[in-house]
Amino acid sequence: MTDTSSSPLPDRLSTNPKSPYYDEALLTRGVGIKFDGQEKTNVEEYCVSEGWIRVAVGKTVDRKGNPLTIKLSGKVEPYLEK
């Protein structure tokens, strides 16, 4: 993926470095998510084509130290933050 502002955002993106959908360059530029018309700031992963996001559940972590997440279904609209 190139760093031009006209390039489309990926269909799926994750904030976990171990995920195959992780893109550090894109995340440092800033990606915002609108989910069902509301701004979400705690999104761990999203998929536009399947229509879901994963959000952290408070500060709870699993035994490996990863945040526990829940999957919410709805309309996902990613955008680049300025």
pLDDT tens string 26-79: 999 999 999 999 999 999 999 999 999 999 998 999 999 888 999 999 999 999
pTM for the model stands at 0.82
Helix/strand/coil (H, E, C) string of the chain?
Answer: CCCCCCCCCCCEEECCCCCCCECHHHHHHCEEEEECCEEECCEEEEECCCCEEEEEEEEEECCCCCEEEEEEECCEEEEECC
pLDDT tens string 42-54: 999 999 999 999 9
